[in-house]
Structure 1
Amino acid sequence: MADSVSVADLVENARLDVYYGKEYLDERTISTSDISRPGLELTGFFNYYPAKRIQLLGITEISYSKGMTHEALLDVMQQMCQPQTPAFVVSTQLDPPEELLEAAKKEHIPVLGSKLTTSRVLSNMTNYLEDKLAERKSIHGVLVDVYGLGIMITGDSGIGKSETALELVKRGHRLIADDRVEVYQQNEQTLVGTAPAILRHLLEIRGIGIIDVMTLFGTGAVRSQTNVSLIIHLANYSKEAKFDRLGNGTQNVHIFDVDVPKITIPVRTGRNLAIIIEAAAMNFRAQSMGYDATETFDRNLNNLIKVNSKADATHKKEEKNLAEKNKDLIGEDPKKSDDSGR
């Protein structure tokens, strides 16, 4: 988890223009992803002024400021320009008020701008800051992109996670992180995984050492980050252990506030783990789209039971009718049978 982000990084990633304070971009830092729209402050209400936030001025704020006197607006802007204020951002390609530039120069606060609408600028800055400032958790495993799904491979050391990832890369899939995955929560339903800077694009294969996947296989073999959609745990095979055979034993792993589906795959000699993981990814996607092979098997099994039950009932009825017919024949008068035979 990063404690802060420099205003220079925000300018680069949110594609902002610099009206004033280019030399102060690296000095100013942002410690919260919340963005302030200082509407009440323009009226003189500063009881709850969030000075540590980026201050975003849109059409509404700029229009209101044009109706203020120079002295009143300058006083408001001076109160808004606190030492801990990271920067001001003016949206919709509007010109910043002269009073804002004058007050910002005294405190060395950058004044930024964008041609995008206020909503778009707000969204872009919030998304970037939330990603950078989000709490992170380090998980031992390998993260790969298989058919567009982020799959985290976990298991004991030496079980073959990295070797499996290498085989997946050779089969056209992409590596995100090896050995250690940095995970953070993007929203209520999404986890994002990325690699630490020191391990980016690198893969450790026992007996060979460290290899650079991007150098050996090209840029199409790596990604910087991906959503974590599924966890596949590799476990050593044993006769005593019970593994899911029907596909209805999926568990969930709770990471932050998100439940991530988890399946366990037994590892033994002769099993091609890369192909199994590909099949697991395709099956997971099919289930997400509403098709479940386990339900199809259950339906086929129930239909077979119904057919067999109906056949058994018909057979029992025929046996009963035959028994009753034989009983009637045995119970007839023998003389009548002789007369009828003549």
Structure 2
Amino acid sequence: MMQVTTKDVMEKFDLTLVSGQEGIGRHIAISDISRPGLEMAGYFTHYPANRVQLLGKTELSFFEMLLPHERVERMRKLCSPETPAIIISHGMKVPEELEIASNEENVPVLTTKMPTTRFSSLLTNFLESKLAPTTAVHGVLVDIFGVGVLITGKSGVGKSETALELVKKGHRLVADDCVEIRQEAENTLIGNAPKLIEHLLEIRGLGIIDIMTLFGASAIRSFKRISLVIELENWDAHKTYDRLGLEEEKMRIIDTDVTKLTIPVRPGRNLAVIIEVGAMNYRLKRMGVNAAEEFSNRLNDVISQNEDSSF
């Protein structure tokens, strides 16, 4: 999981730092945003101090109705040692009591000109992306007809060569060799390449090649949602491979189950075409068209008709 600081948020959204400068390096541990309305009324029993606190027109208009000593007390409690930042929306003026309390506790106070709801949504999306659970997988990620296909398999099985053939056919490379994966939401896995090997592909015998330089910007993507995993394995004559596709295998990545296909590799098989068709067939299944089930239903109908005619 990546670490996000208040300074990262300030630079990302071009926020204005008003006070509490010494705490600008505080870490933000969770993506939840707090709107401390009850806290403005004096109820701090369940105050989520470790969240970014967002004050809008509602909170500040109520704050203006408080007595002077209440204002000082509320802002001192709001600026806890765990609070990563307090942000005020609509470009409103920061209350003097908040400036004093934030400087005492080194809690950064920032302002934005954006509306409260809009900024809350953008900040939540940013934090969820940065703080999402992450892992790394050895494989190749390719965008095929809009389907993010993660190609896995043992070293030397032909993953990179297959990816190169797919790029030549007009599909887009996301990552080769190492795929960084983060779970941004439930059942949503996003894959990208590490910065060190971005746009690069390793082909044994050729070495490292730059896909963007060779094929242009349209041949690469920075990131892609992973929808399908295809594992390449050397052909085993003693193993029975799925020939109908009725059963759907799954692979668990972080907390998400992803559809998985196993394709045996042997001389003469055009892996790029097979993977291409696998991606198209996956799209059809998501649209409700399942060729394997239709064939099974037809077969059952024929068997039933033959059984009826035998009586």
| Common fold: TM-score over 0.5 | yes
Partners of 2:20 and 2:161 lie apart in 1 by: 47
1:175 Cα deviation from its structure 2 partner = 1.6
Equivalents in 1 of 2:88, 2:101: separation in Å?
A: 15
- Aligned with residue 189 of structure 1, among 187, 190, 199: 187
How far apart in 2 are the matches of 1:70 and 1:212? 64
The structure where strand makes up a greater share of residues is 2
8 Å Cα contact 1:90-1:114 kept in structure 2 = yes
AA matched with 2:93 = D
1:251-290 residue pairs with structure 2 within 5 A? 251-290=249-288
Deviates more, 1:115-124 or 1:16-25: 16-25
- SS at structure 1 position matched to 2:62: helix
Write out per-residue CA displacement over residues 50-90 of structure 1, whole angstroms, 9 at most, x where no aligned residue.
Answer: 33321111232122112123332133212322344221112
TM-fit CA distance, 1:159:
0.3
- Select the residue among 37, 40, 58 that pairs with 1:39: 37
Alpha carbons 2:23, 2:106 under 8 Å: kept = no
TM-score under structure 2 normalisation? 0.90
Cα contact 1:21–1:111 (8 A) shared by 2: yes
- What letter is aligned with 1:171? K
- Corresponding residue for residue 61 of structure 1: 59
- 1:5 to 2:32 alignment: no
Query: In the alignment, which residue of structure 1 is the partner of 2:75?
Result: 77
When residues 291 and 22 of structure 1 are mapped into structure 2, their CA distance, relative to the original with a 3 A threshold, is: farther
* Bigger shift: residues 256-265 or 112-121: 112-121
AA aligned to 1:201 is H
SS in 2 for 1:227: strand
* Aligned CA distance change for structure 1 residues 161 and 44 (closer, same or farther; 3 Å): same
- Structure 2 residues not aligned, in runs of 5+: none
User: Deviations 1:8-67 (Å, cap 9, x if unpaired)?
Assistant: 322344x25314259668623322222222222222333333333211112321221121
Please state whether the residue corresponding to 2:135 is helix, strand or coil: strand
Contact 1:8–1:25 (CA under 8 A) maintained in structure 2 = no
1:8 partner amino acid? K
Residue 104 of structure 1 contacts residue 111 of structure 1 at CA under 8 Å; is this kept in 2? Answer: yes
Whichever residue aligns with residue 66 of structure 1, its letter is E
| 8 Å Cα contact 1:34/1:53 also seen in 2 | yes
Does the 8 Å contact 2:21/2:103 carry over to 1?
A: no
Match of 2:144 among 140, 143, 146: 146
The equivalent of 1:112 in structure 2 is 110
What pairs with 1:229-248 in structure 2 (closer than 5 Å)? Answer: 229-248=227-246
Q: Cα distance, 1:166 vs. partner?
A: 1.4
CA distance in 2, matches of 1:12, 1:163: 41
Range moving further from structure 2, 79-88 or 201-210: 79-88
CA distance in 2, matches of 1:111, 1:256: 35
Q: Which protein has the bigger helix share?
A: 1
1:240 Cα shift? 1.2
Q: CA deviation at 1:232?
A: 0.3
- Stretches of structure 1 lacking an aligned partner (at least 5 in a row): 317-342
Match for 1:9: what amino acid? D
Partners of 2:46 and 2:279 lie apart in 1 by 49
Q: Partner residue of 1:101?
A: 99
Aligned-pair CA distance for 1:264 = 0.6
**Structure 1 residue 153: Cα displacement:** 0.5
Q: Distance in 2 between matches of 1:92 and 1:173?
A: 44
The question of whether the paired residues in 2 share the 8 Å contact of 1:16 and 1:112 is answered with no
C-alpha separation between the residues in 1 aligned to 2:172 and 2:159? 14
Distance 2:104 2:213 in 1: 49
Q: Conserved in 2, the CA contact under 8 Å of 1:136 and 1:184? A: yes
Match of 1:299 in 2: 297
In the superposition, the TM-score normalised over structure 1's length comes to 0.82
The residue identity in structure 1 corresponding to 2:5 is S
1:220 and 1:123, CA in 2 relative to 1: closer, same or farther beyond 3 A? same
Distance 1:263 1:103 in 2: 58
Q: Moved runs in structure 1, 4+ residues, more than 6 A?
A: none
SS at match of 2:233: strand
2:281 and 2:60 map into 1 onto residues whose CA distance is 53
Deviation digits for residues 254-290 of structure 1 (CA, Å, limit 9, x no counterpart) = 2232111101111111211111111111100000010
C-alpha RMSD over aligned residues: 2.4
- Quick one: structure 1 residues 221 and 42, their matched pair in 2 at CA, closer, same or farther if it must change by over 3 Å? same
SS at match of 1:282: helix
